[in-house]
Structure 1
């Protein structure tokens, strides 16, 4: 990350946390270097085992395997339905107040009718749905209703799972969830002092049982003892989350003496190191329980990219492209009428699908899809790149271009596109350098383009073109 971007990030965090900012223990430069060395040592130790692996551009470290739900999430084909906004636990790390009963919501859309949500899942070909809250068991009948309608109404297989603190779990309710089609249940046992009775009830009833907890540094001795117990109890997966700081939970995290790390969102240093140490311990003890570390950089990049891609597909033109981050890339060359019409003639001669390019009315500019790059002579033209993002809305705002998408006769949603990079102009060698990125076929190859000393040109396009690989740097 460039120095000016880091400073921008720090200023943004100062503004968000206001008075609390000065009382927060921020990572110093020396601490960052020491923590980076420790993290590297832990990762090297983890990868001395043949059971360790990376997924999703080395942002998700795992052992053995990850659950089908986590795989669907990483592929960008997941929707989280917040079934309510209330909870009967008061976890210190919770990022929000959890005191609003609310209506079921997904991606800022309210779904007060389960048929509308099922139709949303069908319309956007969503392959996995999770039920979250709040605490779903507090509105248990609502969960059953939405789950049953979802399974009955969707026109393709949908893998479903539910998050719970386990406080209200009963065998009868678990059987009802199974009979309604729930595929997986995930317990945050840290919310219930690591008691295991609830999840033990679920084993043998729900097809897949997962423990999903934040990696709490001071609980590390306890969680180490639990890993083998969980495995022997029939738990299928252990998911470890990185604790994120928000203005709501910041005071409680400060009181625990945590060290805070700057980033797109503020995270807790010790929680990442605790997660890696726990994974290392499980491998050293030859415990076969599959564990995955769900880092914030994974969630921030892959979950956001998945949603953007889903909606960008609906609103982009055929001659535009979707980048690995889910942004819409619009490329346009400009030049004399003679040059541009000549390039157009080349495309016609190659019998290219005419929807993949668009000639301006003045015939002095041509928009085109990346797949046509090899057919275009860039020697006498300028290239302009514009990036846009997409988002789904409950209704039209009229602030940006939009498309209305009917889910059924009674429910319509709106997809908006908004320009986030209004235009980068290139010519000559700059176009040639950018062409290396266009020709690259995957995120790893694309990133190699930026490994060379990057001109200012690359700084403007980097956030919209590539997923940054690896765990987040410490600042």
Structure 2
């Protein structure tokens, strides 16, 4: 039966079946495992932020992993459980630039969650060789997605090294509006060599570090409220029609899918798992709650400030927050109606409860900042709205 381009419920286009990794991803079930910002490629369209690009940092979803390898693995597993992940997408940078770390993390996830925990990985071709492919397979990788360069065919044959192993092989590339012919040649090569079983096309998006380069190339955003680049969707349709000649399944993943579906569903899953009895959870998974801050209320560079606090200061702040918590309980607050959030050095409780007791609390503790906040249920607890109680 011939393939047809269909609109999915996820704001994307698809012909044929989604890749196994994508089926979990659109449901928000995948842990986003960022292995490193280091990468030997120099893709002008790389969407990484300044905090990650060419920085050797590792993250599980929004949580930066720190400490020893064992501590990082424990944090990763904790985040996977918190988000109720059924699999992981391993990305970067290039995960192969930190091959030991990547393999250790894959092994740890398989050991903790079992063989059914589906793991896919993205990589350009520069570090692909017999050793890296063998080690990834031995670690337990289920699906590999290659990101070949359109500017040079030099490394394309390296994709064939993956054929030695019984995993799913595909390509995932951004759709450059002015590189349709070059992309067609890449598709023709990968199909002729019988390397891939699927192709993922990503809508080209602008980022903080690509603004100047995109401007010089004449790339423009589709709307002022969008990161998507004009012409990328139209070019994707041309490529999908071309791929139909090869009966190749293709998924065109839009910026809207990533932001609204993938991220949205992941946030909702995490909210269901992480919400406290006193939290108000909306349809998007955002939490509304009361918060009491002392020395470190949210301000500019809030994350950097929290990260830089010395252990002695952190302990002193915890003691003062627990003093407020004890006082609240003396006023009749139930034991499960509030807690000290040590990650963000604050006390959290129900919004209605804080509204009712904020005035006497501030009289007793004049240095306290009381606020009603709406935030993501993610490890970084990104605050969407904050209303201070005067």
Assess, with a 3 A threshold, how the Cα gap between structure 1 residues 419 and 185 changes in structure 2: closer, same or farther: closer
Tell me which moved more, 185-194 or 82-91. Answer: 185-194
Could you give the per-residue CA deviations for residues 221-262 of structure 1, whole angstroms, max 9, x where no partner exists?
Answer: 122233233223230111111111123111111111123222
In the TM superposition, what is the alpha-carbon distance from 1:135 to its structure 2 partner? 1.1
The aligned residue for residue 362 of structure 2 is none
Give secondary structure in 1 for the equivalent of 2:199.
strand
In the TM superposition, what is the alpha-carbon distance from 1:272 to its structure 2 partner? 1.8
- TM-score if structure 2 supplies the norm length? 0.68
In the TM superposition, what is the alpha-carbon distance from 1:300 to its structure 2 partner? 1.1
The alignment status of 1:250 with 2:211, answered yes or no, reads: yes
The alignment status of 1:215 with 2:165, answered yes or no, reads: no
Count of residues in Structure 1 that have an aligned counterpart in Structure 2: 299
The aligned residue for residue 136 of structure 1 is 95
CA contact (8 A) 1:86 1:134 kept: yes
- Partner residue of 1:199 out of 138, 159, 164: 159
CA distance, structure 1, for counterparts of residue 225 and residue 238 of structure 2 = 24
CA distance, structure 2, for counterparts of residue 419 and residue 217 of structure 1 = 34
In the TM superposition, what is the alpha-carbon distance from 1:304 to its structure 2 partner? 2.1
CA distance, structure 2, for counterparts of residue 53 and residue 225 of structure 1 = 24
The alignment status of 1:396 with 2:344, answered yes or no, reads: yes
CA distance, structure 2, for counterparts of residue 256 and residue 415 of structure 1 = 35
CA contact (8 A) 2:12 2:254 kept: yes
- TM-score if structure 1 supplies the norm length? 0.57
Give secondary structure in 1 for the equivalent of 2:149.
helix
In the TM superposition, what is the alpha-carbon distance from 1:309 to its structure 2 partner? 0.6
The aligned residue for residue 75 of structure 1 is 27
The aligned residue for residue 295 of structure 1 is 254
The aligned residue for residue 7 of structure 2 is 54
The aligned residue for residue 44 of structure 2 is 92
CA distance, structure 2, for counterparts of residue 260 and residue 221 of structure 1 = 22
Could you give the per-residue CA deviations for residues 204-225 of structure 1, whole angstroms, max 9, x where no partner exists?
Answer: 3250111000111222112223
CA contact (8 A) 2:15 2:250 kept: yes
CA distance, structure 2, for counterparts of residue 417 and residue 85 of structure 1 = 22
CA distance, structure 1, for counterparts of residue 94 and residue 382 of structure 2 = 33
Give secondary structure in 2 for the equivalent of 1:246.
coil
What is the CA RMSD across the aligned residues, in angstroms? 3.0
The aligned residue for residue 179 of structure 1 is 138
In the TM superposition, what is the alpha-carbon distance from 1:172 to its structure 2 partner? 2.0
Assess, with a 3 A threshold, how the Cα gap between structure 1 residues 298 and 414 changes in structure 2: closer, same or farther: closer
Assess, with a 3 A threshold, how the Cα gap between structure 1 residues 398 and 179 changes in structure 2: closer, same or farther: same
Task: Map 1:59-458; keep pairs closer than 5 Å.
Answer: 59-96=11-48, 98-112=53-67, 113-154=72-113, 157-190=116-149, 193-194=152-153, 195-205=155-165, 207-232=167-192, 233-283=194-244, 285=245, 287-313=246-272, 314-315=274-275, 317=277, 322-323=282-283, 325-327=284-286, 395-398=343-346, 401=349, 416=381, 420=385
Task: Map 1:455-474; keep pairs closer than 5 Å.
Answer: none
In the TM superposition, what is the alpha-carbon distance from 1:178 to its structure 2 partner? 0.8
Assess, with a 3 A threshold, how the Cα gap between structure 1 residues 174 and 192 changes in structure 2: closer, same or farther: farther
Assess, with a 3 A threshold, how the Cα gap between structure 1 residues 152 and 259 changes in structure 2: closer, same or farther: same
Could you give the per-residue CA deviations for residues 384-419 of structure 1, whole angstroms, max 9, x where no partner exists?
Answer: xxxxxxxxx9812428659xxxxxxxxxx9685967
CA distance, structure 2, for counterparts of residue 414 and residue 50 of structure 1 = 41
| Structure 2 gap ranges (5+) | 290-340, 351-377
CA distance, structure 1, for counterparts of residue 257 and residue 220 of structure 2 = 20
Assess, with a 3 A threshold, how the Cα gap between structure 1 residues 52 and 236 changes in structure 2: closer, same or farther: same
In the TM superposition, what is the alpha-carbon distance from 1:106 to its structure 2 partner? 2.9
